[in-house]
């Protein structure tokens, strides 16, 4: 995602621009927008002025009178955001020129041509007096698009370009500060206006690159205090406009209707101020003198210029963070995200990931509201979201794999029926188990130790694999559970179906099947001149603890109780091929199978003799 953003920087531009606008709105709602300088004033030719003058289009003589009126209020500079072009009606040109001469501080706009092969600059533009500028340090212009008429240009205190380049969505968020034309620096309209107000020499401007401009010896805190003012740019030579707020008198208190000013008996006082004169009427808006901004859908362009000028006078700039910051933020937060995915459970991982994203968004809004720092949001969030989704999918796949391995392991011990019960109700495997009445089976190969000492290891393995596979099939067919394989022995148990005691019958059925298969294997091995094969089986019925038992590090689905010991001892009592059972098991199967009473036996681990019985299984095999 970082690579895609680097190769295609406009990939998320439209969405990122909306996020920028939301930060303006949030800052405005919190009352943290920058204050507007009292050294800036506006004189607006508004709808009221057009209506009262009964002139939808003012003649140049009226403009001249208005400029004279403003000049009489002693402003430091007048930024006239009205283009008096050469090809318009020439009547009143002399009056305008004379008003400009009398004011002595009128700044006029022009439009530069940024297309290839623009028109050469006219001599009246006076570019020879501007500082020289190396190509590539600032956005380039190819020529002049529109200028005021020559006589007005010659008498102006300064000229600045009024080009504004909206973003892809048509909103004005940034404006160029300077442009290069024929190797000469051309200031923006607002910069020339401030330079005229402060009597600042444009030769003091140092262009670092398209990310930074320094105004050397700039009167930062009053005209008697000089210092260097660094202007942060967006990397393309544009200044991000730090809007003070919507078009309200509470935000811009020094705003006057031109007609009121023109017809007033007493002059206003614009001492020490920069006055922006502009047509803000609906008619001018229709002709493009207003644009969408982050704070309003229709915003007079003169106020965009004054907001830019306000940034120079108050040193309140928006500082965009470079793209390398997005890379660093993604790497840092990405590492934390991966560590969270590695260390935390799924729910906590999701909470941690969401917390990181919300924290970064809050940080980006907070630093903008408080310090006007512009952090990239989507270039950071999108890669992190992709990483989160990848981590989540990876965890899910790993969990599926783990569950598959676990289920495969359980299927080696548990019957398909019990596996279905566990899938439907995982609480069956809860730690601690439950006390149940069950039947335990213990089966063992006869003379296996001697056989394994004499036989080839591969033959031993073959015998064990065959024995275990056949036994598991028989146990699972009766819904039994293989607790564990113990060398050549098998410990299994059978649970009851609900309230019915069925474990004993199913255990005997299983044991008889195992003995029948043992006889078949014995005949097969004898026919192959191999060692004989026989097993003994012991069955005991009683209460035991059944379930997941053990420490958290190693849990087994197993059984605990004296009934397990009893099944093991009963297996040792019988002869090869026997199925030996205890009295409780006998009680439940005696009506179904022929049972032989073997009498009481003294079994190791039991203080009293145990009644022992044998289930008749037919001809008994003998061990070789």
Structure tokens at 456: 């080839």
Instruction: From 376, 411, 446, give the residue that closes a domain.
Output: 411
User: For residues 289 and 298, what is the distance between their CA atoms, to the nearest angstrom?
Assistant: 10
Banded pLDDT at 624 (limits 50, 70, 90)? very low
Tell me: do 303 and 364 sit in the same domain.
no
User: For residues 122 and 468, what is the distance between their CA atoms, to the nearest angstrom?
Assistant: 102
- How far lies 397's CA from each of 357, 390, 400, 403, 424, in Å? 24, 10, 5, 10, 21
Specify if 438 maps to a domain: yes
pLDDT tens by residue, 256-294: 999 999 999 887 899 999 999 999 999 888 888 899 999
- Cα atoms in the 13 Å half-sphere on the side-chain side of 244: 25
Specify if 624 maps to a domain: no
- How far lies 122's CA from each of 115, 155, 188, 244, 548, in Å? 17, 15, 18, 37, 93
DSSP code of 183? Answer: T
Tell me: do 581 and 596 sit in the same domain.
yes
- The DSSP code sequence of 512-563 is HHHHHHHHHHHHHHHHTT-----EEEEEEEEEEEEEEES-TTS-EEEEESHH
- The neighbouring-strand residues paired with 373 are 319
E runs forming strands in 55-95:
77-80
* pLDDT for 623: 38
Tell me: do 357 and 501 sit in the same domain.
no
Residue 163, Cα to own-chain centre: how many angstroms?
37
Per-residue exposure over 325-341, b if at least 16 CB sit within 10 Å of its own CB, e if not = ebbebbeebbeebeebb
Helix ranges restricted to H, 226-271: 258-263
Most distant CA pair in the chain: distance in Å?
138
User: For residues 428 and 435, what is the distance between their CA atoms, to the nearest angstrom?
Assistant: 13
CA angle, 558 as apex, 555 and 562 as ends, to 5°?
A: 130
Report the pLDDT averaged over residues 178-183: 92
Segments forming the whole domain that contains residue 334: 323-411
Tell me: do 332 and 210 sit in the same domain.
no
User: For residues 269 and 71, what is the distance between their CA atoms, to the nearest angstrom?
Assistant: 10
Residue 504 sits in a domain whose CATH number is: 3.30.70.1230
pLDDT tens by residue, 26-77: 999 999 999 999 999 999 999 999 999 998 889 999 999 999 999 999 999 9
- Three-state DSSP class for 44? strand
Residue 471, Cα to own-chain centre: how many angstroms?
54
Tell me: do 209 and 60 sit in the same domain.
yes
Instruction: From 379, 411, 443, give the residue that closes a domain.
Output: 411
Specify if 474 maps to a domain: yes
Domain count, the chain: 3
Tell me: do 316 and 391 sit in the same domain.
no
- The neighbouring-strand residues paired with 107 are 79, 158
Structure tokens at 401: 């794999």
Specify if 47 maps to a domain: yes
Tell me: do 305 and 360 sit in the same domain.
no
Tell me: do 137 and 278 sit in the same domain.
yes
pLDDT tens by residue, 457-481: 888 898 999 999 999 999 999 989 8
pLDDT tens by residue, 520-568: 999 999 898 888 899 999 999 999 988 777 665 565 678 889 999 999 9
Specify if 623 maps to a domain: no
**Do 275 and 43 meet the contact criterion of CB atoms below 8 Å apart?**
yes
Tell me: do 327 and 316 sit in the same domain.
no
Report the pLDDT averaged over residues 117-144: 83
Tell me: do 515 and 541 sit in the same domain.
yes
pTM score, whole prediction: 0.67
Specify if 622 maps to a domain: no
CA angle, 456 as apex, 452 and 462 as ends, to 5°?
A: 80
Report the pLDDT averaged over residues 165-184: 92
Tokens 């009352």, residue located? 31
Tell me: do 292 and 397 sit in the same domain.
no
Specify if 584 maps to a domain: yes
Specify if 621 maps to a domain: no
Average pLDDT score, the chain: 87
E runs forming strands in 13-117:
40-45, 77-80, 106-113
**Do 160 and 189 meet the contact criterion of CB atoms below 8 Å apart?**
yes
Instruction: From 378, 411, 444, give the residue that closes a domain.
Output: 411
User: For residues 602 and 216, what is the distance between their CA atoms, to the nearest angstrom?
Assistant: 107
Tell me: do 272 and 332 sit in the same domain.
no
* pLDDT for 619: 44
* Of the candidates 545, 550, 555, the residue with the CA atom closest to the CA atom of residue 409: 555
């Amino acid at each position: 995602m970082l690579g895609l953003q680097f190769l295609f920087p406009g990939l998320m531009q439209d969405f990122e621009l909306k996020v920028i606008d939301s930060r303006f709105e949030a800052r405005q709602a919190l009352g943290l927008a920058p204050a507007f300088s009292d050294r800036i004033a506006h004189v607006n030719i508004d709808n009221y002025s057009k209506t009262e003058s009964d002139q939808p289009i003012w003649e140049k003589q009226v403009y001249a009178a208005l400029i004279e009126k403003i000049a009489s209020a002693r402003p430091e500079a007048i930024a006239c955001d009205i283009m008096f072009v050469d090809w318009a009606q020439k009547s009143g040109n002399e009056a305008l020129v004379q008003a400009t001469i009398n004011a002595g501080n009128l700044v006029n706009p022009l439009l530069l041509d940024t297309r290839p092969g623009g028109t050469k600059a006219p001599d009246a533009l006076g570019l020879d007096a501007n500082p020289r500028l190396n190509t590539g340090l600032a956005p380039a212009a190819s020529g002049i698009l529109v200028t005021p008429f020559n006589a007005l240009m010659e008498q102006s205190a300064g000229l600045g370009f009024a080009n504004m380049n909206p973003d892809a969505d048509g909103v004005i968020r940034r404006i160029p500060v300077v442009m290069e034309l024929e190797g000469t620096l051309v200031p923006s309209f607002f910069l020339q206006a401030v330079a005229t107000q402060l009597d600042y020499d444009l030769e003091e401007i140092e262009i670092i690159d398209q990310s930074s401009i320094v105004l050397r010896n700039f009167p930062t805190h009053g005209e008697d205090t000089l210092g260097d003012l660094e202007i942060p740019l967006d990397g393309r030579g544009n200044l991000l406009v730090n809007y003070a707020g919507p078009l309200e008198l509470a935000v811009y208190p020094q705003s006057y209707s031109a007609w009121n000013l023109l017809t007033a008996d007493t002059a206003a006082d614009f001492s020490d101020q920069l006055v922006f004169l502009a047509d803000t009427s609906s008619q001018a808006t229709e002709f493009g003198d207003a644009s969408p901004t982050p704070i309003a859908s229709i915003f007079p362009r003169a106020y965009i210029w004054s907001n830019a000028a306000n940034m120079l006078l108050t040193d309140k700039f928006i500082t965009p963070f470079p793209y390398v910051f997005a890379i660093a933020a993604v790497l840092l937060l990405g590492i934390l995200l991966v560590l969270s995915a590695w260390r935390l459970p799924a729910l906590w991982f999701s909470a941690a990931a969401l917390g990181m994203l919300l924290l970064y968004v809050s940080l980006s809004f907070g630093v903008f509201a408080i310090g006007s720092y512009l952090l990239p949001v989507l270039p950071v969030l999108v890669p992190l979201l992709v990483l989160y989704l990848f981590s989540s999918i990876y965890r899910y796949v790993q969990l599926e794999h783990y569950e598959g391995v676990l289920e495969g392991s359980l299927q080696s011990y548990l019957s398909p029926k019990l596996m279905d019960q566990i899938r439907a109700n995982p609480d069956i495997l809860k730690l601690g188990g439950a006390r149940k009445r069950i039947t335990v089976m213990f089966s063992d190969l006869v003379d296996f130790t001697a056989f394994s000492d004499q036989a080839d290891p591969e033959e031993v393995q073959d015998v064990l694999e065959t024995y275990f596979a056949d036994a598991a099939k028989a146990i699972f067919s009766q819904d039994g559970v293989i607790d564990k394989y113990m060398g050549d022995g098998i410990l299994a148990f059978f649970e009851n179906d609900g309230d019915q005691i069925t474990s004993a019958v199913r255990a005997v059925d299983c044991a008889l099947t195992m003995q029948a298969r043992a006889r078949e294997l014995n005949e097969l091995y004898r026919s192959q001149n191999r060692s004989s094969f026989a097993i003994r089986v012991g069955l005991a019925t009683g209460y035991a603890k059944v379930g997941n038992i053990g420490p958290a590090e190693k849990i087994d689905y197993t059984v605990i109780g004296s009934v397990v010991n009893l099944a093991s001892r009963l297996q040792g009592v019988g002869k090869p091929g026997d199925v030996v059972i205890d009295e409780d098991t006998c009680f439940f199967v005696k009506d179904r199978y022929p049972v032989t009473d073997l009498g009481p036996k003294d079994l190791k681990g039991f203080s009293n003799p145990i009644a022992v019985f044998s289930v008749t299984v037919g001809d008994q095999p003998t061990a070789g």
